[in-house]
């Protein structure tokens, strides 16, 4: 629209708002901002929150991203969805760097070439995070994002309540442990998670982490 053209002409970044997959799009029906959607988790109608539009990049931009480190590529992609007024470019780079500094592989999520002379299928490895689960890639970032938003308002807090069948709980705990202003409560079905997953959750001693074993199954 006209607003998009004007913003583009003066070099302003257009970022999407967010709406629920079930239709909810905020009080005005146009979507909610990035910080609000990060804090709320699911939409008020129970749907997943998704962008109102997907920013487009040119072929030349895609080609310029080839060979970037994981951290620099993550910045280029994530910055398309985050307004500078809520997370500045410098803050976003810092959040990304902190989030992936603890991964065991220097490439964070390396692509392994298989077969003779590396000509076989390529495999993306997502198990180099602290709990070996692919969800570490998202939840290490989310924990630092929570801390960023909370730090801007004195006394601000976020309480995270999660239910897990095993890997999500561990990833959430390791992403949120020790974060100022964040309390996390994880419920898991007693006797129905693997022993290593249970130990990953119940041996974290940070005061903001609370694990609760409940009877029944994850779907109850």
Helix (H) or strand (E) holding 139: helix 136-151
SS3 212: strand
- Could you confirm whether 135 is annotated as catalytic? yes
Supply angle C-alpha 21, 23, 26, rounded to 5.
110
Q: What is the DSSP letter of 118?
A: G
Query: Virtual CA dihedral for 169, 174, 177, 181, nearest 10 degrees?
Result: -70
Catalytic: which of 135, 157, 179, 180? 135
Query: Virtual CA dihedral for 86, 150, 175, 182, nearest 10 degrees?
Result: -160
SS3 51: strand
Q: Detail the DSSP E strand segments found in 11-116.
A: 18-20, 49-51, 111-113
Regarding beta strands 49-51 and 111-113, do their DSSP bridges make them parallel or antiparallel, or are they unpaired? unpaired
Q: Which residues are catalytic?
A: 135
């Amino acid at each position: 629209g006209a607003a998009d053209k004007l913003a583009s002409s003066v070099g302003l970044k257009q970022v999407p708002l967010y709406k629920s997959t079930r239709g909810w799009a905020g009080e005005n029906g146009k979507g909610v901002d990035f910080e609000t959607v990060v804090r709320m988790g699911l939409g008020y109608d129970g749907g997943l929150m998704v962008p109102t539009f997907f920013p487009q990049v040119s072929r030349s931009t895609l080609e310029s991203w080839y060979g970037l480190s994981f951290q620099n590529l993550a910045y280029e992609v994530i910055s398309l969805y985050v307004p500078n007024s809520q997370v500045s470019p410098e803050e976003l780079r810092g959040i990304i760097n902190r989030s992936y500094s603890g991964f065991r592989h220097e490439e964070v999520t390396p692509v392994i070439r298989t077969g003779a002379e590396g000509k076989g299928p390529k495999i993306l490895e997502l198990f180099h995070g602290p709990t070996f689960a692919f969800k570490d890639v998202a939840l290490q970032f989310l924990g630092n994002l929570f801390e960023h938003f909370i730090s801007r308002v004195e006394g601000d807090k976020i309480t995270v309540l999660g239910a897990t069948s095993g890997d999500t709980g561990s990833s959430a705990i390791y992403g949120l442990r020790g974060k100022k202003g964040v309390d996390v409560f994880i419920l898991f079905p007693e006797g129905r998670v693997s022993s290593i997953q249970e130990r990953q959750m119940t041996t974290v001693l940070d005061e903001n982490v609370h694990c609760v074993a409940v009877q029944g199954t994850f779907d109850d």
